[in-house]
């Protein structure tokens, strides 16, 4: 029964080697797993548990891909490379989510949503209302649950009229239009001015129906965009002096928004919790010795840096004296990222890889000037 076979193959693991291996069984299986309709269903079926294929690094020559899986699931770096044809018009990576990468083309005031698996590109003009001259903008791309065709794009930044006011708008690829401009004053004790943090360093984190960005300023803070309520708010940090800490926004144990605070060889897990009266506050959870978990040498004590975070796999990427190391926050198991020794900011790419071309062979997608 063709329908029954399709349902069985749909439940193969979401690893990159699953469908290529199934295609080698016979001509019938090959025709089924290479069908575009089946590939969409496969991606939709596994959208909640995509594998961590690797990390994107923003280099001078473009966006480079560092695979994190081992053979036979290892994706060739050339397959996901995004080259920059004109360094004068350089681009800034704003992060990846749901199999899509978001890139800001500052000179052209455009946002590029790129699907590295299919190669599809969507250029979207930055809407009015944002200060693009003196204050950086940030954004995040995401899909609705189970939707593999359409996406949404949330853009945040400072108001073009008032620098201490945050603004946000949401774009829908299904309608092709931006939503209403959402505004909120950026005020926090001890800091009169806030600006959105350089987004290539700390991309947004999606938890539930809210997006979170780190803010820059004398006392820092976190910008929360509640998309269900269409509301912006500033959350204070759980620690005061930011000069001695590193941060990674994470999904906390048991759900909710959390923060990993790194100081020397010690890592603290903080969770944002709301009490019965609706008052939210930070609660300190576990504290771990990060050196032992990352298997670092004694002489490298306190030299670890946080490079990135993978939402769906709950993995934090650290820089160590031996190169990048991944730490799974639930199991506390660590693993080195092989094939790269470059210290830069890494943006995790989690996606179900369903291309019928297989996982070997070079393929470069060029970012052309317009």
- What's the pLDDT score for residue 298? 56
Nearest to 265 by CA among 239, 293, 241: 293
Q: Is residue 357 part of a domain?
A: no
Same structural domain, 42 and 150: no
Same structural domain, 235 and 188: yes
What residues does 323 pair with on adjacent strands? Answer: 320
- CA–CA separation, 80 vs 69, rounded Å? 14
- CA–CA separation, 120 vs 114, rounded Å? 6
E strand or H helix at 102 = strand 100-105
Contact 223, 166 (CB under 8 A): yes
Same structural domain, 145 and 38: no
Same structural domain, 285 and 228: yes
HSE-CB of 209 using CA atoms within 13 angstroms: 7
Q: Is residue 206 part of a domain?
A: yes
Q: Is residue 30 part of a domain?
A: yes
Q: Is residue 26 part of a domain?
A: yes
Nearest to 148 by CA among 242, 36, 232: 36
- What's the pLDDT score for residue 185? 80
Q: Give the domain CATH number at 243.
A: 2.120.10
Q: What is the pLDDT along the chain (370 residues), one digit of tens a residue?
A: 678 999 999 999 999 999 999 999 999 999 999 898 899 899 999 988 999 999 998 777 778 888 999 989 998 888 887 765 544 466 788 999 999 999 998 888 999 999 998 888 999 999 998 888 877 889 999 998 878 789 999 999 888 777 678 899 999 999 999 999 998 886 644 444 445 544 446 789 999 899 999 877 545 688 899 999 999 988 888 877 666 678 889 998 888 899 999 887 788 999 998 888 888 899 999 898 888 788 766 555 556 788 889 999 999 998 888 788 899 999 999 998 876 766 777 899 999 987 644 443 333 332 333 3
52 burial via Cβ count (<10 Å: 0-12, 13-18, 19+): buried
Same structural domain, 68 and 155: yes
Contact 96, 348 (CB under 8 A): yes
- CA–CA separation, 143 vs 128, rounded Å? 23
- What's the pLDDT score for residue 117? 87
Same structural domain, 134 and 42: no
What's the number of domains the chain is made of?
A: 2
Same structural domain, 8 and 126: no
Q: Is residue 360 part of a domain?
A: no
Same structural domain, 21 and 168: no
Same structural domain, 94 and 13: no
- What's the pLDDT score for residue 368? 33
For the chain, the straight-line distance linking the first and the last C-alpha, in angstroms and rounded, comes to 50
Same structural domain, 53 and 38: no
- What's the pLDDT score for residue 125? 95
Q: Is residue 114 part of a domain?
A: yes
pTM of the model: 0.87
> Contacts from 204-209 at CB under 8 Å and sequence distance 24+?
204/94, 204/95, 204/138, 204/139, 204/140, 204/154, 205/249, 205/250, 205/251, 205/257, 205/309, 205/311, 206/97, 206/140, 206/142, 206/311, 207/251, 207/255, 207/256, 207/257, 208/255, 208/256, 208/257
Same structural domain, 124 and 196: yes
Q: Is residue 231 part of a domain?
A: yes
Q: Is residue 369 part of a domain?
A: no
Contact 222, 204 (CB under 8 A): no
What SS3 class is residue 243?
helix
Within 10 Å of residue 292's Cβ, how many Cβ atoms? 11
What residues does 101 pair with on adjacent strands? Answer: 96, 114
Domain interval for residue 11? 1-46
- What's the pLDDT score for residue 7? 94
Same structural domain, 174 and 64: yes
């Amino acid at each position: 029964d063709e329908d029954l076979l399709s349902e069985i193959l749909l439940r193969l693991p979401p690893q990159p080697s699953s469908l290529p291996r199934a295609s080698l069984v016979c001509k019938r299986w090959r025709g089924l797993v290479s069908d575009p309709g089946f590939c969409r269903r496969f991606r939709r079926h596994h959208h909640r548990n995509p594998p961590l294929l690797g990390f994107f690094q923003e280099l001078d020559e473009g966006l480079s891909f560092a695979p994190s899986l081992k053979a036979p699931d290892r994706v060739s770096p050339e397959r996901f490379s995004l080259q920059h044809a004109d360094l004068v018009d350089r681009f800034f990576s704003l992060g990846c989510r749901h199999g899509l990468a978001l890139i800001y083309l500052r000179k052209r005031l455009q946002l590029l949503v790129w699907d590295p698996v299919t190669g599809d590109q969507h250029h979207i003009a930055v809407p009015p209302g944002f200060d693009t001259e003196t204050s950086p903008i940030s954004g995040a791309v995401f899909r609705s649950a189970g939707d593999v065709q359409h996406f949404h794009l949330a853009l945040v930044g400072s108001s073009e009229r008032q620098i201490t006011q945050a603004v946000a708008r949401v774009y829908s690829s299904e309608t092709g239009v931006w939503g209403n401009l959402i505004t909120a004053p950026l005020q926090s004790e001890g800091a009169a001015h806030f600006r959105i943090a350089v987004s290539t360093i700390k991309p947004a984190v999606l938890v539930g129906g809210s997006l979170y960005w780190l803010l820059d300023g004398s006392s820092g803070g976190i910008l929360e965009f509640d998309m269900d309520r269409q509301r912006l708010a500033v959350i204070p940090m759980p620690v005061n002096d930011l000069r001695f800490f590193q941060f990674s926004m994470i999904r906390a144990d048991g759900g909710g928004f959390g923060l990993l605070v790194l100081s020397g060889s010690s890592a603290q897990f903080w969770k944002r919790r709301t009490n019965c009266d609706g008052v939210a506050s930070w609660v300190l959870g576990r504290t771990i010795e990060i050196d032992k978990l990352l298997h670092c040498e004694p002489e490298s004590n306190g030299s670890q840096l946080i490079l990135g975070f993978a939402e769906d796999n709950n993995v934090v990427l650290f820089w160590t004296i031996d190169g990048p190391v991944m730490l799974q926050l639930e199991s506390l198991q660590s693993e080195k990222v092989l094939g790269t020794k470059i210290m830069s900011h890494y943006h995790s790419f989690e996606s179900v890889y369903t291309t019928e071309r297989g996982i070997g062979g070079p393929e470069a997608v060029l970012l052309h000037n317009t």
